[in-house]
């Protein structure tokens, strides 16, 4: 009897999990209202940005054409891979099913929705991989479901992108020390050869 109860309970839990996953799988990126938010991401300098050092000035505001703003409760801002940084990288692949989509894995900030213009200065996280990026904001409802979005580039993502160089794991002081050690090693080797040559000449003169 106890075994039957355990089996029944396990089956109910399984059904609940499947139902939950099924509800999640029904949420598609193509169903979201696009361009509901006007988003800009301005790098702190030109050229390739350094992870852990450089910043982005991010702003977002509701567009006058937005239709689902009554459902907005939260804004989630994320850092997303541009297509050029997704090539041959299935772990960054764009999928229409939101629970599968890996375009925007890097969370920047979550804020309560406000229809007025909002801004945030984001220092690139130290663990950001090397790549080309853009910023996307999702408008989320009370059930924590995405209902609309806006991004700092167009749908095809050809412009307004920025590149990031990951931290190499080496510090400049270590590089300097390495160079100094190499120079010292070469000089020590030269001194050794000079001394050996001098000793050889002294031996020959005897």
Residue 124 lies in a domain: yes
At residue 22, the pLDDT reads 43
At residue 168, the pLDDT reads 79
* Greater pLDDT, 105 or 175: 105
pTM confidence score: 0.71
CATH number of 147's domain: 2.60.40.1930
Nearest C-alpha neighbor of 134 from the set 44, 48, 39: 39
Mean pLDDT of 66-74: 96
Q: Which residues of 92-112 are buried (b: 16+ CB within 10 A; e: fewer)?
A: beeeeebeeeebbebebeeee
Residue 39 lies in a domain: yes
Mean pLDDT of 79-105: 97
Residue 33 lies in a domain: yes
**In the structure, what pLDDT confidence band is assigned to residue 26 with cuts at 50, 70 and 90?**
confident
Domain with 115 in it: 29-166
Structural domains of the chain, count: 1
At residue 93, the pLDDT reads 96
Task: Say whether pLDDT at 129 is over 60.
Answer: yes
Task: Say whether pLDDT at 47 is over 50.
Answer: yes
Residue 144 lies in a domain: yes
- The CA–CA distances, whole Å, from 60 to 68, 119, 150 equal 16, 6, 8
The torsion angles phi and psi of 53, rounded to 5 degrees, stand at -125, -60
DSSP-assigned letters across all residues of 15-82: HHHHHHHHHHHT-BGGGSBTT-EEEEEEESSSSSEETTT-EEEEEEEE-TT-S-GGG--EEEEEEEE-
At residue 171, the pLDDT reads 47
Residue 191 lies in a domain: no
Residue 78 lies in a domain: yes
**In the structure, what pLDDT confidence band is assigned to residue 200 with cuts at 50, 70 and 90?**
low
At residue 105, the pLDDT reads 97
Mean pLDDT lowest for which of 3-17, 61-75, 99-113, 115-129?
A: 3-17
Residue 20 lies in a domain: no
Residue 158 lies in a domain: yes
Instruction: Please check whether residue 51 is in contact with residue 170, taking contact to mean a CB–CB distance below 8 angstroms.
Output: no
- Under the phi-then-psi rule, with left for phi > 0, alpha for psi from -120 to 50, and beta for the rest, what region is 139? beta
């Amino acid at each position: 009897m106890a075994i039957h109860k355990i089996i029944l309970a396990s089956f109910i839990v399984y059904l609940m999990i499947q139902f939950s996953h099924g509800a999640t799988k029904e949420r598609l990126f193509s169903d979201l209202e696009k361009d509901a938010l006007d988003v800009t991401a301005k790098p702190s300098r030109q050229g390739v940005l350094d992870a852990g050092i450089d910043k982005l000035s991010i702003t977002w505001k509701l567009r006058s054409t937005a239709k689902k703003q009554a459902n907005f409760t939260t804004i989630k801002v994320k850092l997303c891979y541009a297509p050029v940084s997704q090539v041959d990288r299935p772990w960054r692949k764009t999928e229409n099913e939101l629970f599968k989509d890996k375009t925007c894995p890097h969370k920047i900030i979550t804020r309560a929705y406000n229809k007025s213009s909002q801004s945030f200065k984001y220092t690139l996280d130290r663990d950001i991989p090397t790549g080309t990026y853009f910023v996307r904001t999702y408008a989320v409802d009370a059930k924590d479901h995405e209902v609309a979005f806006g991004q700092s580039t167009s749908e095809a993502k050809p412009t307004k992108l920025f590149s990031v160089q990951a931290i190499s794991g080496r510090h400049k002081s270590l590089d300097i020390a390495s160079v100094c050690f190499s120079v010292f090693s070469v000089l020590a080797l030269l001194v050794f050869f000079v001394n050996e040559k001098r000793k050889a000449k002294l031996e020959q003169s005897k």
